Chain A
Amino acid sequence: MSRISPLIDRLIDALQVLPGIGIKSATRMAFHLLQRNREGAGSLAGAIVDAVRNVGQCRVCRNLSETESCSICSNVKRDAALLCVVESPSDVVAIESTASYDGKYFVLHGRLSPIDGVGPADLGLDRLREHVVQTEMREVILATNPTVEGEATAHYISEALAGTGVSVTRIAHGVPVGGELEYVDGGTITHALRGRTSID
């Protein structure tokens, strides 16, 4: 059913893939792009196409990357025996912005959540264990969110890493329960990393 015109309708529908964007905001955006900023619209379209085509996952840490091994994994100056496990790429950005961590990462792209059907295999946990064993990791910091699912995930990983000899730690509870790393200020993240405690 046509609302405005087939092409504009298609653009409005497409814009609604963005989180929190309903039909009203999408319509406003579509008109803005077409009326006031056609050049910007063209470059946005190009950037989306390029990113979708070329950004995949880092072979080592599963972070978003356009190279086989991401810039953090390839950086020889970073401590390769220290690994921080996070739920999402935005958590990496949040921790990196504090400049208080110089180890590497492993990105789960989620958390254990039975009702959503997310189990251990969906989070690459087999690969995590393999990676920890192969690189002779010294310490794994579990920086999953302090939510019920984040805690369950941290516990599952600590069990899965038992017997590998690696020291497993959990970030401190400066981060409020239910809070998500990406919404927490840098000082709190630095504090949570420094105050990490060992899991036995």
Chain B
Amino acid sequence: MTDRQRRQPGYVLHRRAYRETSYLADILSPEFGRLAGVFRGARKKQGGSLEPFIRYGLAWHGKGQMVTVTSYDIEIEHSLRDRYLYAGLYLNELIVRALPVEVSAPPLFHAYDNAITGLARRDTLEPVLRTFERTLLRESGYDLLFNYDYTTGDVIAPDRYYRFVPNVGFESIQKTSDALSGRVLLAIADDDYAKTETRRVAKHVLRSALKPLLGDRPLASRQFFRGSNHAV
């Protein structure tokens, strides 16, 4: 077992007090995905606060379940406020619940970096969240294709209607009141959430697509949005 030092950018998704002066943190990195890192002495270090939504340049020793972080330098500090802060906490909860540990995920890290940047910039909330959720699904091993009919393999037709079958995909059906329009599905496939209808369908479909990854327990961060008219 090698014990050489590794260097990666990383975000802290969650941290808790560990022993007298340390933190144990859930980290997201590009090459090593999610991992648990011990930050020794970090709690008593002046100005050495360890917070989510800061991209750190991390160095650590060890491999496997728990690594020892030897340095963490701030690369970018994103400032998330009000409902954008809730949204950031929602993304962190999603990752911790849905992404298995130690799965290398450079595209997910990239998507997270983009999403947090968008939240700090106060971009329109839903496109940021939906784009990220789609990447998370893909990187968790469940690639939901919004542009193919899974029964035939045909490309989705803008003028036809479909229904979502959990864990599988979309299949063509006759037009009904709750049928999904092909045009809307193709927009989601392009991450084009300009239309209200696209945002509504994307939220609904992605929520049920994520469900098998999240288990029965509801996401605690969704409660934050209840009073604020900006449900995610």
Contact = CB atoms under 8 A, between A and B. Distances in A.
B220 A119 contact: yes
B171 interface: no
Contact of A115 (B13, B53, B81, B82): B13
The secondary-structure label for the interface of chain B is mixed
A155 B224 CA distance: 10
B51 A114 contact: no
By size class, the interface of chain B is 35 or more
Given A114-B90, A148-B51, A119 B228 contact: no
Interface of A: 19-20, 22, 112-120, 147-149, 151-152, 155-156, 159-160, 176-179
A152 B86 contact: yes
Interface string B1-29: 00000000000011011011100001000
> Sorted from nearest, which 8 A-B pairs have the closest CB atoms?
A178-B49, A20-B20, A114-B220, A114-B221, A115-B14, A114-B93, A119-B223, A119-B220
B13 A152 contact: no
B179 interface: no
Given A151-B81, A177-B51, 18 more contacts: A20-B19, A114-B89, A114-B221, A115-B93, A115-B96, A115-B220, A117-B217, A147-B51, A148-B53, A152-B85, A152-B224, A155-B81, A155-B82, A156-B224, A156-B227, A159-B227, A160-B227, A176-B46
Contacts of A116: 14, 16
Given A148-B53, A151-B85, A178-B51, A117 B227 contact: no
B49 A114 contact: no
Contacts of B220: 113-115, 117-119
B66 to A, nearest CB: 17
Given A114-B93, A178-B50, A120 B223 contact: yes
B41 to A, nearest CB: 12
B153 interface: no
Interface string B180-208: 00000000000000000000000000000
Nearest to B47: A176
A155 B86 CA distance: 9
B33 interface: no
Residue picked from A116, A119, A120, most chain B C-beta under 10 Å: A119
A152 B48 CA distance: 21
Interface string B69-107: 000000000001110011011101100100000000000
A132 to B, nearest CB: 15
A170 B26 CA distance: 29
Nearest to B90: A114
A120 B163 CA distance: 36
Given A19-B20, A114-B89, A159-B228, A179 B49 contact: yes
